[in-house]
Structure 1
């Protein structure tokens, strides 16, 4: 049986280090952001509309950017499907968490809060690319992209000092299957209104039929990998993470020694309140282990294609 161009050679991957490419998908309500991601990750289309409301949906896919059995270029896509840019909760001061997560995504800031870290893979790594989606079949849908694009391009990236890398951007007009031939010119006229943001890469796609879906992710992935600054960023990030890990280990070792000293004192006579001192420390240690297990578990639970790569950590190294 002939091998398909998009089949993953697991044995070859075991010998490779796969780069992680973190992508955020942004756009107004109902333009098909989730449908686009689902088509790319799972090769399927769900006609039943379900709004991305209370959370950020995250997906993982190992993909060959070259679609070539002889010269593959595998990467791990981490895709963040963000709730709508025009979500009403974003203007409510009371909904701090959602607003903080959303603007944290736009600002590409490192996620520091525990509630934000939950369910987020590589939350300390920056977003390398944004896919901005509008409905090509609706006249004013593209207007919902202007503010976030402007915010990211003119404020966040100019003000951001921790990164030398400017994120790659793609604008996508979805629902090409609904755009009649005589209305194609209207879609291209909408591009012109976004030209001021200098995003040359544009696609007309259909999440329903799959038209141009893979091309969007492959193009932005190639642009990211071709950026020579990426290696510098990753090395700086790895250095920072190693320093952070060493600091955490030093803190844990010091804390463990302190606990052992306290335990020796308690064994000398005082066993703690109702004799529960030792048990309480065990609970604390268990909680720390559970936190680590939760992070590992979140990685495994991210929706992933293909299924054979579910045990990703053993199948290949990632950074």
Structure 2
């Protein structure tokens, strides 16, 4: 067969495909949104051509589009008077199955990004507080605190902490906090602020033992979590009794600059835990790129 004849045959095939293809596209079943009855009938017609899995996917897509309509109605005053099912019908009117899936996927992605933004906003306050707290702690850690033991002395609950001047300067102006709480909640306990006695200074690299004493009658009333009855003094293994030591430098003047970590600026153990959970949730969200299929319950 001559090459010219072959080319003519191919052109006829191409022309036939071009004629037929638009018909195939435009004859595709679409949703009719003019009324609930028309919509339900068109939906049933489309669903009749689907297998069980696709039918389930269609139902999930329609539920997602209903959520999308509810969200838009709540955030767009112009849509307040329309019911969410009316909005779904209008949005799907004249559209095919794949377009319905595309619209549902668009909402799934947008909703995912909103969740990320909301979580970032919720953790922003704690995050800023932690950055400020950590920066101050780094400055104050020049006078490093280390809890040593708790003891029972003359009916008093006595906490001993070692404070070490890790700088190369004499520290004259400082305040320390010595306290305790439970491993469940630091607020279960008590703390005291220790200012330097007149003329008492920290030489470079010097370590001093500072103490605070609390009435046993007071401390035992304040937390049922701490294992008071089991304690054998002196205690240095604090966690065995659900004790948590809270010793740190709260104010320090060095190089003529005053650094002070006020109690309300310091992250509590609960806030640290909450922030860690926020970060883990945010990491999980950002590592995920959800699609409509993820919402379909997998059958065993």
Q: TM (normalized to structure 2)?
A: 0.24
Higher strand share: 2
Bigger radius of gyration, 1 or 2?
Answer: 2
